[in-house]
Amino acid sequence: MTSFNSKNVLITGGASGIGFIMGRMALQRGVHHLVLWDINPDALQKAAKELQSSGYSVSTNVVDVRDYKQIQETADQVLKEIDKVDMLFNNAGIIVGKSFKDHSYEDIENTLAVNSAGLMYVARAFISSMINHGFGRIVNIASAAGLSPNPGMTVYAASKWAAVGWSDSLRLEMEKHHKEIKVLTVMPSYINTGMFDGVKAPQLIPLLDAEKISAKILNAVEKEKIHLREPFIIKCSPFIKGVLPTRIYDFIAGKVLKVYSSMDTFTGRKENNND
């Protein structure tokens, strides 16, 4: 079992959505210090003020996870200030919910940079310190879209497939060479945070409550799980996709469960589609 008590925790995309909720819950579980990273300075200030008003130790950094030089510089600063980061939650993410032909080259670049490379950059900046200190927990918030194709989120799905493959490979490396570092890959379906406003919840796959999924993620860290897939039917997705012929899987996902039409009415957040 892993305890949050007296740990230093860093969360990317931590100013809002499940990033903020996980931060609040982690503090309630006894975290010593919480570091929030986000690209939005105003949201960061508001989040920190709310948490600090309850007496918690919280600091913030404005960080663009697409920029590995900024990440490394800020990580060095954080480690100088608090010595170590025990738990890293790679939570920052974006989505462009439209047909692939309507994606700009910038849309493609940004989605892959934030959702795939960004996780790797941030983990790379802290993993050596974790190894040196003999303890580390890396939590990568991927998506159920990293398990199954879905029209309307082609590049998002690609970025999450990359995230899942990297995260699980990192887990195996750590299990082989550094057992004190544990990696959790989180693959939730749509979460009701505003990021996926307008989506039609597929059959048997309800929108996930942000508070409940955040608690489940922290519980999974405590129990040292390697995967968290939610809701229940997502747990079965790899098996179902692996054993069924593609056309039958497409029929079930598209016609029965209505997954393939879930993005048809997507609007997302008006200001941006960040988690």
**What is the total residue count of the chain?**
275
List, in order, residues 6 or more apart from 183 with CB less than 8 Å away.
137, 138, 139, 140, 167, 168, 170, 171, 174, 226
Instruction: Single out the residue of 118, 193, 125, 214 nearest to residue 162, CA to CA.
Output: 118
Q: Please, where are the H alpha helices in 53-116?
A: 68-82, 105-112
In the residue annotation, 121 being an active-site residue is answered as: no
CA–CA separation, 184 vs 225, rounded Å? 6
Q: Which of 56, 105, 121, 156 is catalytic?
A: 156
Phi and psi for 90 in degrees, rounded to 5?
-80, 90
CA 273 to chain centre: 14
List, in order, residues 6 or more apart from 205 with CB less than 8 Å away.
189, 190, 231, 233, 234, 257, 259
The DSSP string of 208-260 is: BPHHHHHHHHHHHHHTT-SEEEESHHHHHHHHHHHHS-HHHHHHIIIIIS-GG
CA–CA separation, 4 vs 22, rounded Å? 12
238 preceded by a cis bond (ω within 30 of 0): no
CB burial of residue 119 (10 Å; 0-12, 13-18, 19+): buried
- Which one-letter DSSP state was computed for residue 100? G
Catalytic positions are: 156
